[in-house]
Amino acid sequence: MNTALTTRRASRLIAPDALHGPPTLEAHLRRYGPLSLGGGPGAQGRDRLLAEIERSGLTGRGGAGFPTARKLASARAADRPALIVNAMEGEPASAKDRLLVGTTPHLVLDGADVVATVLGAQRTVLCVADSAPEMARSLVRAQQERTGRGRAGDAEVRTLSGRYVAGEESALASAVAGGPGVPRFRPDKSVPLSVGRHAAVVHNAETLAHVALIARYGADWFREVGAAEAPGTCLVTISGGVECPGVVEVATGAPVSEIIGLARLSSPPQAVLVGGYGGTWLAGEDLGVPFAPGELSRLGASMGAGVLVVLPGGTCGIQETALVARFMAGQSAGQCGPCLFGLPAIADDLAAIADGTAAPEVLDRLLVRCGAVAGRGACRHPDGVVRLVRSALEVFSADVASHVHGHPCRGRAAPSGLMAQSGLMGSFRDGWGR
Ligand SMILES: Cc1cc2nc3c(=O)[nH]c(=O)nc-3n(C[C@H](O)[C@H](O)[C@H](O)COP(=O)(O)O)c2cc1C
Ligand code: SF4
């Protein structure tokens, strides 16, 4: 796999010379200027910072796309909450947080300082996965330069088990509190997360890097680019049928076809998986859609963790989806029946369809199983799998029909293993993981 960075359309977060290694604090401050922690001291200053973040329209970049200011406003109601920085990047097809933390750690730490100030946070914990030790090293190195300069310099860096569900926010809060890194049952999601006796708030690393820029340059600057509903830039990891897989930074709202073009297509795409392994397939004819929440949702998709996996022509989308569904079934935390038993059953049905060994009624059973699992987990892991499978059955419906009638499509003879390759593990190690 070619692991070079592809062209970038914007370079707010990732500097053009990023692969030369993370800048020193001095170089970082030369590039971005000093971090202003708000328009004045005390509660008023914090209010002004929060108002600026709200006006910016920043939405979370960890997957759910929730408005950042709204989350901060409710967390502020708690007494000195804990801030958890989510740099777990459990999504196998995503490498954006690794690139960001590896090349621009000071921006993430700046953002953590701003949010900790707004919240009056009692502590900040930076969480990375054990599968990416270079991220912890990058953060610790950056922290050493910041001793005595803000809370993030003294924040705890925690290396946690990097399973897919470990980055879910309640799993992270549980692990930080010393418990198992699996999602908690939260019947009422409006009840804040907690770590010990304190409330906790979880923000994705990229979200915090944007906060650092908003604190410096203001909401108007932030909104100068991107879609009005989710302004700014975003990091997108492109993989699959492209010559230059990697991470690009683009303005939100750029057409999906244009974004994947930055990674140089090896052939006209048959479809693109949008959002991540728990995302949605978009057919080739829909790729003109802007990469923005509203437009994508009309096609049943979302930006997710900023992932685009390109499926080239001549590849079987059903087989590729079956591989992902099997992987995702194996990632269940094993706490909820529909997830523990339903996901393997869904993966089995899809595998049988992919192989051309399924009786026609298996398709109906698969749809019933999807319906029985959706919305029934303590976390949204099973919902992601159902979304992925349903979209595959729709986008590749002609192939599905052939498969269930015993005529698997051309891709069957030579499965590309695209999904198995799409995880960009190690992609950027040569660039910055020293
Ligand atoms: C199964 C599952 C896994 C997740 N893994 C991650 C992850 O690895 N990193 C991340 O930032 N968010 C992950 N999320 C989303 C987090 O729960 C949470 O929404 C996010 O960290 C909030 O940050 P944001 O508001 O800045 O986006 C995951 C969600 C689910 C349901
Ligand atoms: S839905 Fe699945 S992954 Fe989520 S908590 Fe339940 S068993 Fe774990």
Res 153 pLDDT > 80: no
Average pLDDT value for the chain = 89
Euclidean distance between CA atoms 313 and 47, whole angstroms: 52
377 lines ligand 1 (CB under 6 A): no
Res 6 pLDDT > 70: no
Q: Are 66 and 59 in contact (CB under 8 A)?
A: yes
In this prediction, residues 68-82 reach a mean pLDDT of 92
Q: Which pLDDT band holds residue 115 (cuts at 50, 70, 90)?
A: very high
Nearest atom (ligand 1) to Cα of 171: 17
The rounded Å distance from CA 82 to ligand 2 centre is: 24
Q: How far apart are the first and last CA of the chain?
A: 20
374 lines ligand 2 (CB under 6 A): no
Euclidean distance between CA atoms 275 and 358, whole angstroms: 29
Q: For residue 245, count other CB atoms closer than 10 A to its CB.
A: 26
Euclidean distance between CA atoms 316 and 253, whole angstroms: 29
Q: Which pLDDT band holds residue 9 (cuts at 50, 70, 90)?
A: low
3-class state of residue 59 by DSSP? strand
Which is more confident, 260 or 37?
260
Which is more confident, 265 or 152?
265
CB under 8 Å to 421, separation ≥6 — which residues?
1, 239, 240
What total of structural domains would you count in the chain? 2
pLDDT at 266: 86
Euclidean distance between CA atoms 430 and 89, whole angstroms: 19
Last residue of a domain, one of 203, 226, 249: 226
Q: What CATH code is carried by the domain that includes residue 215?
A: 3.40.50.11540
377 lines ligand 2 (CB under 6 A): yes
The rounded Å distance from CA 65 to ligand 1 centre is: 10
Q: What is 256-311 written as a DSSP string?
A: HHHHHHTT-BSS-EEEEEESSTTSEEEEGGGTTSBSSHHHHHTTT---TTTEEEEE
In this prediction, residues 214-227 reach a mean pLDDT of 96
Which is more confident, 76 or 295?
295
Specify whether 324 is located in the same domain as 206.
no
Res 39 pLDDT > 70: no
Q: What is 316-353 written as a DSSP string?
A: -HHHHHHHHHHHHHTT--S-SHHHHHHHHHHHHHHHHH
168 lines ligand 1 (CB under 6 A): yes
Residue with tokens 């304190």: 198
**Looking at this protein, which amino acid is placed at residue 23?**
P
Closest-CA residue to 314 (of 283, 270, 260, 355): 270
The rounded Å distance from CA 90 to ligand 1 centre is: 9
In this prediction, residues 243-247 reach a mean pLDDT of 93
pLDDT at 419: 62
In this prediction, residues 298-304 reach a mean pLDDT of 97
Specify whether 157 is located in the same domain as 25.
yes
How remote is the C-alpha of 361 from its chain's centroid?
35
Query: Is 95 part of any domain?
Result: yes
**Looking at this protein, which amino acid is placed at residue 421?**
Q
Res 249 pLDDT > 70: yes
pLDDT at 425: 35
Closest-CA residue to 123 (of 166, 173, 164, 162): 173
Q: For residue 179, count other CB atoms closer than 10 A to its CB.
A: 12
Specify whether 206 is located in the same domain as 331.
no
Identify which of 174, 327, 331, 339 to mutate to test ligand 2's pocket (most ligand atoms within 8 A of the CB): 339
pLDDT at 20: 79
CB under 8 Å to 43, separation ≥6 — which residues?
none
Specify whether 137 is located in the same domain as 32.
yes
Last residue of a domain, one of 207, 226, 245: 226
332 lines ligand 2 (CB under 6 A): yes
pLDDT at 1: 29
Q: What CATH code is carried by the domain that includes residue 349?
A: 1.20.1440.230
pLDDT at 8: 41
Euclidean distance between CA atoms 332 and 344, whole angstroms: 9
Neighbour-count burial of 110, counting CB atoms closer than 10 A to its CB (0-12 exposed, 13-18 middle, 19+ buried): buried
The rounded Å distance from CA 339 to ligand 2 centre is: 6
Query: Is 158 part of any domain?
Result: yes
Specify whether 73 is located in the same domain as 175.
yes
Query: Is 113 part of any domain?
Result: yes
Which is more confident, 15 or 174?
174
Last residue of a domain, one of 174, 208, 226: 226
Q: Which pLDDT band holds residue 96 (cuts at 50, 70, 90)?
A: very high
Query: Is 189 part of any domain?
Result: yes
334 lines ligand 2 (CB under 6 A): yes
Query: Is 397 part of any domain?
Result: yes
336 lines ligand 2 (CB under 6 A): yes
pLDDT tens digit sequence for 317-373: 999 999 999 999 999 999 999 999 999 999 999 999 999 999 889 999 999 999 999
Euclidean distance between CA atoms 280 and 118, whole angstroms: 35
Q: Which domain holds residue 83?
A: 18-226
pLDDT tens digit sequence for 308-319: 999 998 889 999
Query: Is 5 part of any domain?
Result: no
Q: Which pLDDT band holds residue 42 (cuts at 50, 70, 90)?
A: confident
Specify whether 222 is located in the same domain as 341.
no
Identify which of 168, 343, 376 to mutate to test ligand 1's pocket (most ligand atoms within 8 A of the CB): 168
Query: Is 259 part of any domain?
Result: no
Q: Which pLDDT band holds residue 431 (cuts at 50, 70, 90)?
A: very low
The rounded Å distance from CA 64 to ligand 1 centre is: 7
In this prediction, residues 181-210 reach a mean pLDDT of 91
Specify whether 218 is located in the same domain as 93.
yes
In this prediction, residues 223-229 reach a mean pLDDT of 95
Residue 272 phi, psi dihedral angles, 5° rounding: -135, 135
Specify whether 211 is located in the same domain as 326.
no
Sign of CA dihedral 212, 215, 221, 224: positive
Query: Is 301 part of any domain?
Result: no
In this prediction, residues 387-415 reach a mean pLDDT of 84
Res 428 pLDDT > 70: no
How far, CA to CA in Å, does 74 sit from each of 50, 184, 236, 253, 419? 11, 20, 29, 28, 38
